[in-house]
Amino acid sequence: MKRWLAWTLVLTLLIGMFVFREWIISREGFDPIRAMDQDYGWLIFHRERVPRMEADQLIAADGMLFLHYEKYGYVNVYSADGTFLRGYQVACGGNGRGGIGYADGILYIDGQCSGIYLFRGEELVGFEEQNRNNPAHRQTEILMASACPTSDGGYDYYYNSVSGQISRAKPGQALETVVQLPVKDSVAEYLAMGMLMLMTAFVVWLRIEDGEVPVVSQILQERKRRLR
Report d(CA 220, CA 211) in Å as an integer. 10
Instruction: Judge contact between 37 and 91, C-beta under 8 A.
Output: yes
pLDDT at 63: 96
228 residues of the chain, pLDDT tens digit each: 556 666 676 777 777 777 777 777 778 888 888 888 777 889 999 999 999 888 999 999 999 999 999 988 999 999 999 999 999 999 886 555 678 999 999 999 998 777 899 999 999 999 998 877 888 888 898 889 899 999 999 999 999 998 999 999 999 999 999 999 998 876 666 777 777 777 777 777 666 666 655 555 566 566 666 666
pTM over 0.85? The answer is: no
Report d(CA 185, CA 25) in Å as an integer. 9
Q: Which phi and psi (to 5°) does residue 164 adopt?
A: 70, 25
Among residues 52, 57, 7, 6, which one has the least CA distance to residue 33?
52
The full set of domain ranges for the chain reads 2-27+185-227, 31-180
pLDDT at 170: 94
Report d(CA 150, CA 152) in Å as an integer. 7
pLDDT at 138: 85
Query: What amino acid occupies position 137?
Result: H
pLDDT at 177: 96
pLDDT at 225: 66
What residues contact residue 52 under an 8 Å CB cut-off, 6+ apart? 25, 28, 30, 31, 32, 33, 184
SS (H, E, C) the chain: CHHHHHHHHHHHHHHHHHHHHHHHHHHHCCCCCCCCCCCCCEEEECCCCCCCCCCCEEEEECCEEEEEEHHHCEEEEEECCCCEEEEEEECCCCCCCCEEEEECCEEEEECCCCEEEEEECCEEEEEEECCCCCHHHHHHHHHHHCCCCCEECCEEEEEECCCCEEEEECCCCCCEEEEECCCCCHHHHHHHHHHHHHHHHHHHHHHHHCCCCHHHHHHHHHHHHHHC
CA distances from 183 to 8, 160, 165 (A): 35, 11, 9
Report d(CA 206, CA 216) in Å as an integer. 12
Report d(CA 177, CA 11) in Å as an integer. 44
